[in-house]
């Protein structure tokens, strides 16, 4: 067989060998990761990696807190550290906007390859499916987020976690051809290499300070009286035109109890079982607690929605002893307009209160 | 299974390795089975149609070959009627029913059927007709082996969008043991990489610009001027279809088969007749040999020759799709061919041929031909005649250069392509790469090509090949 195809196979092998060496030297070695645009999708993930590595205090028990922008805005590690009453504890905010447990799984593998560098891992998890629109397993940006964290060994596993063929294909290509997946970033780099080099050199140390010092937004949503019939405010006075459509959608979803179709709920459950389960199994061997919690869900949830119940995958994993789940109503008190600056994110006041409450809830669980 | 997906290359790699391990007859079985699997990925329902068309054409070939004179002619008629009947039903039934209904002010839904167009049908029915006519003309003997014939019809590199393979070229290649030479390997890889670059990097760059113009949406946050939209489509369709053909030819070569050239830098043609000798050559030569010449070609006087041009190009236009837009596009080219013929006769009579054909004027004629061909793409791409008229009007306005200033690649790509064609006008560089370059140089060229594909290729766009719809 090989003799008849020898000229072709030899040439292909040589081309692949050289490409492999370039790939190894530039991408798999992490050289290019240092040059990725910090404010890109992949760059935000690298920011989380950078924070987890550089903020870790070897003298204390480090608790890595993962979440999306709700945690990015709503959690202050510095406040939590001060409020925990445990000088031996050290919270680190490793949140990445737009991410969910699949991305966190690969992030954790990157920053904690042996599963023993942190005393606890806290994961923001929705206990219900409020506002769900798509199967979380098919979230297309997950490949872009995970790009700098993927390895050739993930070639089967990662693409298979998507449920649609084109997403699988895209994920497979991203692993095999990282240059292709990062081509826009690479072209931007080629357009002005000195600018990118300068930016990345300056950006990360400054960014670390920004994470630590993040004050949060001072403004809050105006208190508005909600009409129980329509589910909308009786008056929009004081609400900005920019915020109004987002709040309207949010209140609509609340009023209509939009928790997604049964199919989506099943898919969400399977997704959480898979990815929270993976993280939990990884840490169980080292006795590191994986703590899940519900972030304050929105400015009118306390008034208009039931308290979330830990059901489905979260309940299963909790009952199996794989995870520790904070009480469902731990932060419901904060689901009020004065603690939010938009329909999703807490403001400075909410951030401060949440961080203190969170530290108080988590501290007893870390030994 | 598109040529620009990993799925296809896994499939192709597996077939190639298996083929390398098999004896010729088993290899033929493998290629036929693989081709049917490939076709099933498009629509499993039409496997039966492909099989039926294959068996019928094979039987027609034997019938034509066996009989003489009238019976032979009758058999040929049956073969042509069968192929045109299949094509007509699947591709044109609704079109003509719809037209008939609108002419008689009837409800079109009462006449049309829910027919799905089988992918590649225009190609394999034309190959069936070519086979029947070639056997009738005694250009080749009918194939006794149904396996060989099935391979001719279904061979997956050309099954979906050509090139339209001539039986006289294909059958002599069947049954030889696969043994790739250095030249085969390099030539095949070169064409595959060239085709992928044309499709993924260039065609996929222009496609969203053309789509934005014809769908009245924005590209890169701005409206697309008419001239940019039309130019974008002109470049998209060339890079798309010639890229597809390059990949098809490269794959066939690696599997031990040679396909004829389908594109010879058509946008560098100096007149419309030359354009049609360099664009979709397998179709234009098919139309010439199986339609234009049987209609009398240029042997029956000037008026009949001109009419033949219009008939052939009009039908050639309709071959692309069941729409009057395609017919208009074909007739437009027919008119251009007629005008070109009259022009050539006039300058010959005036003794101006040497001056007109002077090399210094060639760039002017090339530019003129490109503009005429590009204008022709408007009805081809526009969804209706109203859009065609709007575009023709808009294109006459003072060109808006803002978009091009912001995205110089729109003009830069064709200019770079032109520069490359001038540099490598005899394809010496490509020939050197295939025949004389050292192993290290060939490897470097492969690496650079793949890196260029990775950097410039817009794979995620997932834009289907234009000619798959035909």
DSSP A256-291: TT----HHHHHHHHHHHHHHHHHHHHHHHTTT--EE
Active-site pick, B280, B320, B333, B340: B320
B118 versus B307: which is more confidently predicted? B307
- Average predicted confidence (pLDDT) for chain B: 90
Residue pair B403/B225 in contact by the 8 Å Cβ criterion = yes
Residue A117: phi and psi, rounded to 5, are -90, -10
Residue pair B18/B32 in contact by the 8 Å Cβ criterion = no
A66 beta partners = A123
**Paired sense of beta strands A290-293 and A120-124, if any:** parallel
Classify residue A113: in a domain, yes or no: yes
Residue B469's pLDDT band (boundaries 50, 70, 90)? low
Residue A180 to residue B454, Cβ atoms within 8 A: yes
- Percent of chain B with pLDDT strictly greater than 90: 66
Residue B162's pLDDT band (boundaries 50, 70, 90)? confident
Classify residue A146: in a domain, yes or no: no
Average pLDDT over residues B297-321: 90
Residue pair A73/A345 in contact by the 8 Å Cβ criterion = yes
Classify residue A300: in a domain, yes or no: yes
Reduced to 3 states (helix: H, G, I; strand: E, B; else coil), residue A346 is strand
Tell me the two tokens of residue A172. Answer: 């497979």
Residue A5 to residue B178, Cβ atoms within 8 A: yes
Give A-chain residues touching B6 at CB under 8 angstroms: 169, 172-173, 176
Return the pLDDT at A3. 79
Classify residue A122: in a domain, yes or no: yes
Give B-chain residues touching A5 at CB under 8 angstroms: 16-17, 20, 178, 180
Q: What is the pLDDT of residues B46-92, one digit of tens each?
A: 899 999 999 999 999 999 998 888 888 999 999 999 999 988 888 87
C-alpha count within 13 angstroms, C-beta hemisphere, residue A253: 21
In angstroms, the Cα distances linking B373 to B270, B292, B367, B368, B469 are 11, 21, 10, 9, 21
Q: Work out the number of other CB atoms within 10 angstroms of the CB of residue A133.
A: 10
Helices marked H in chain A: 6-23, 41-54, 69-74, 77-83, 101-111, 141-146, 157-160, 165-176, 178-181, 183-191, 193-213, 244-255, 262-284, 301-304, 312-319, 348-362
Q: Supply the DSSP symbol for A306.
A: P
Distance in angstroms (rounded) separating the CA atoms of residues B235 and B413: 9
Residue B459 to residue A180, Cβ atoms within 8 A: yes
Classify residue A164: in a domain, yes or no: no
Chain B residues with CB under 8 Å of a chain A CB are 5-7, 16-17, 20-21, 177-182, 184-186, 188-189, 254, 439, 442-444, 446-447, 450-451, 453-457, 459-460, 462
Residue pair A94/A66 in contact by the 8 Å Cβ criterion = yes
Distance in angstroms (rounded) separating the CA atoms of residues A136 and A14: 40
In the annotation, is B358 catalytic? no
CA-based nearest distance A274→chain B, Å: 26
Return the pLDDT at A225. 87
Residue B446 to residue A15, Cβ atoms within 8 A: yes
Residue pair B423/B429 in contact by the 8 Å Cβ criterion = yes
Classify residue A173: in a domain, yes or no: no
Q: Work out the number of other CB atoms within 10 angstroms of the CB of residue A109.
A: 17
Give B-chain residues touching A169 at CB under 8 angstroms: 5-7
Residue pair A163/A171 in contact by the 8 Å Cβ criterion = no
Q: What ipTM describes this predicted complex?
A: 0.83
Distance in angstroms (rounded) separating the CA atoms of residues B243 and B250: 10
Return the pLDDT at B108. 67
Classify residue A299: in a domain, yes or no: yes
Residue pair B296/B288 in contact by the 8 Å Cβ criterion = no
Tell me the two tokens of residue B249. Answer: 């030819």
Flag whether pLDDT at B373 surpasses 70: yes
Whichever domain contains A112, its CATH number is 3.40.50.1110
Interface A–B counts its CB contacts (< 8 A) at 77
> What does pLDDT average to in each consecutive run of 10 residues of chain A (367 residues)?
85 94 90 90 91 92 95 94 91 93 95 92 85 86 92 94 91 90 90 92 86 89 87 87 91 84 88 93 90 93 83 86 90 94 94 96 91
Return the pLDDT at B97. 75
**Paired sense of beta strands B222-223 and B218-219, if any:** antiparallel
What is A76-99 written as a DSSP string? -HHHHHHHSS-TTEEEEE---TT-
Q: What is the pLDDT of residues B377-434, one digit of tens each?
A: 999 999 888 899 999 999 888 888 888 888 889 999 999 999 999 888 888 888 898 8
* Residue span of the structural domain in which A85 resides: 38-139+219-365
Q: Is the peptide bond before B163 cis (omega within 30 degrees of 0)?
A: yes
3-state secondary structure chain B: CCCCCHHHHHHHHHHHHHHHHCCHHHHHHHHHHHHHHHHHHHCHHHHHHHHHHHHHHHHHHHHHHHCCHHHHHHHHHHHHHHHHHHHHHHHHHHHHHHHHHHHCCCCHHHHCCCCCCCCCHHHHHHHHHHHHHHHHCCCCCCCCCHHHHHHHHHCHHHHCCCCCCCHHHHHHHCCCCCCCCHHHHHHHHHHHHHHHHHHHHHHHHHHHHHHHHHCCCEECCEECCHHHHHHHHHHHHHHHHHHHHHHHHHHHHHCCCCCCCCCCCHHHCCCHHHHHHHCCHHHHHHHHHHHHCCCCCCCCHHHHHHHHHHHHHHHHHHHHCCCHHHHHHHHHHHHHHHHHHHHHHHHHHCCCHHHHCCHHHHHHHHHHHHHHHHHHHHHHHCCCHHHHHHHHHHHCCCCCCHHHHHCCHHHHHHHHHHHHHHHCCCCHHHHHHHHCCCHHHHHHHHHHHHHHHHHHCCHHHCCCCHHHHC
Residue B463's pLDDT band (boundaries 50, 70, 90)? confident
Give A-chain residues touching B11 at CB under 8 angstroms: none
CA-based nearest distance A172→chain B, Å: 9
Average pLDDT over residues B253-282: 94
Flag whether pLDDT at B195 surpasses 90: yes
Residue pair B65/B180 in contact by the 8 Å Cβ criterion = no
Left if phi > 0, otherwise alpha if psi is -120 to 50, otherwise beta: which for B220?
Answer: left
Alpha-carbon torsion angle A351, A352, A356, A361, nearest 10: -20
Give the count of domains, chain A.
1
Give A-chain residues touching B459 at CB under 8 angstroms: 173, 180
Residue B260's pLDDT band (boundaries 50, 70, 90)? very high
CA-based nearest distance A315→chain B, Å: 38
Residues in Cβ contact with B190 at an 8 Å cutoff, skipping those fewer than 6 apart: B250, B430, B433, B434, B445
Classify residue A18: in a domain, yes or no: no
A143-174 burial: b if 16+ Cβ within 10 Å, else e: bbbbbbbbeeebeeebbebbeeeebbbbbbbb
């Amino acid at each position: 067989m090989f003799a008849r195809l020898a000229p072709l196979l030899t040439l292909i092998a040589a081309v692949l060998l050289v490409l492999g060496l370039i790939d190894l030297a530039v991408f798999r070695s992490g050289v290019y990761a240092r040059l990725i645009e910090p404010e890109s999708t992949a760059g935000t993930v690298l920011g989380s990696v950078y924070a987890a590595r550089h903020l870790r205090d070897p003298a204390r028990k480090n608790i890595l807190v993962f979440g999306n922008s709700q945690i990015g805005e709503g959690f202050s590690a510095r406040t939590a550290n001060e409020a925990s009453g445990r000088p031996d504890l050290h919270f680190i905010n490793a949140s990445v906007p737009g991410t969910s447990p699949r991305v966190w799984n690969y992030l954790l593998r990157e920053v904690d390859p042996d599963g023993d560098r942190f005393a606890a891992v806290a994961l923001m998890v929705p206990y219900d499916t409020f506002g769900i629109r798509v199967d979380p397993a098919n979230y297309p940006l997950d490949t872009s987020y995970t790009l700098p964290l993927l390895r050739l060994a993930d070639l089967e596993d990662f693409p298979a976690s998507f449920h649609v063929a084109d997403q699988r294909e895209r994920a497979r290509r991203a692993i095999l051809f990282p240059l292709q997946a990062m081509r826009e970033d690479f072209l931007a780099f080629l357009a002005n290499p000195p600018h990118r080099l300068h930016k990345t050199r300056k950006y990360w140390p400054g960014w670390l300070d920004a994470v630590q010092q993040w004050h949060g937004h001072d403004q809050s949503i105006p208190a508005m009286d909600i009409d129980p019939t329509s589910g909308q405010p009786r008056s929009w006075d004081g609400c900005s035109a920019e915020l109004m459509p987002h709040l309207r959608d949010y209140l609509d979803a609340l009023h209509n109890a939009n928790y997604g179709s049964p199919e989506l709920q099943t898919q969400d459950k399977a997704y959480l079982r898979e990815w929270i389960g993976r993280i939990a199994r990884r840490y169980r061997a080292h006795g590191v607690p994986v703590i899940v919690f519900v972030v304050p869900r929105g400015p009118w949830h306390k008034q208009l929605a039931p308290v979330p119940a830990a059901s489905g995958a979260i309940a299963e994993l909790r009952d199996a002893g794989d995870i520790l789940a904070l009480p469902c109503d731990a932060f419901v008190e904060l689901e009020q307009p004065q603690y939010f600056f938009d329909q999703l994110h807490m403001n400075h006041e909410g951030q401060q209160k949440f961080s203190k409450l969170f530290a108080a809830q988590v501290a007893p669980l870390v030994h | 299974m598109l040529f620009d997906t990993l799925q296809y290359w896994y499939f192709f790699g597996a077939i190639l390795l298996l083929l390398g391990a098999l004896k010729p007859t088993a290899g033929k079985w493998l290629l036929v089975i693989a081709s049917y699997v490939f076709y099933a990925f498009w629509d499993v329902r039409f496997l039966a149609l492909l099989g039926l068309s294959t068996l019928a054409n094979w039987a027609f070939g034997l019938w034509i070959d066996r009989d003489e004179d009238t019976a032979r002619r009758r058999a040929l008629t049956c073969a042509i009627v069968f192929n045109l009947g299949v094509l007509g039903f699947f591709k044109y039934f609704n079109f003509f029913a719809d037209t008939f209904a609108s002419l008689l002010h009837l409800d079109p839904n009462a006449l049309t059927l829910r027919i799905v167009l089988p992918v590649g049908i225009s190609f394999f029915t034309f190959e069936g007709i070519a086979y029947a006519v070639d056997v009738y003309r005694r250009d080749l003997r009918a194939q006794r082996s149904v396996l060989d014939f099935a391979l001719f019809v279904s061979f997956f590199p050309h099954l979906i969008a050509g090139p339209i393979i001539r039986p006289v070229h294909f059958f002599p290649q069947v049954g030889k043991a696969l043994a790739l030479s250095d030249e085969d390997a390099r030539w095949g890889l070169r064409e595959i990489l060239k085709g992928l670059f044309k499709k993924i990097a260039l065609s996929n760059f222009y496609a969203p610009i053309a789509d934005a113009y014809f769908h009245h949406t924005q590209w890169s946050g701005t409206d697309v001027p008419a001239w940019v939209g039309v130019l974008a489509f002109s470049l998209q369709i060339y890079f798309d279809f010639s890229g597809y053909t390059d990949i098809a030819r490269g794959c066939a070569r690696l599997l031990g088969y040679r396909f004829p050239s389908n594109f010879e830098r058509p946008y560098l043609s100096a007149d419309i007749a030359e354009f049609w000798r360099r664009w979709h050559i397998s179709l234009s030569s098919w139309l010439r040999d199986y339609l234009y010449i049987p209609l009398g070609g240029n042997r029956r006087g000037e008026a009949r020759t001109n009419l033949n041009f219009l008939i052939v190009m009009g039908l050639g236009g309709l071959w692309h799709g069941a729409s009057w837009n395609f017919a208009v596009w074909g007739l437009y080219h027919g008119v251009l061919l007629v005008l070109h013929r009259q022009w050539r006769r006039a300058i010959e009579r005036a003794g101006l041929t040497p001056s007109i054909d002077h090399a210094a004027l060639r760039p002017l004629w090339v530019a003129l031909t490109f503009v005429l061909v590009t204008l022709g793409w408007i009805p081809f791409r526009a969804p209706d005649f109203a859009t065609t008229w709007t575009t023709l009007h808009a294109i006459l306005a003072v060109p808006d250069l803002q978009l091009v200033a912001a995205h110089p690649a729109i003009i830069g790509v064709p200019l770079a392509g032109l520069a490359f064609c001038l540099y490598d006008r005899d394809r010496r560089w490509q020939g050197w790469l295939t025949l004389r370059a050292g192993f290290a140089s060939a490897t470097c060229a492969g690496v650079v090509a793949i890196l260029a594909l990775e950097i410039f290729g817009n794979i995620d766009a997932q834009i289907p090949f234009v000619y798959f719809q035909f």
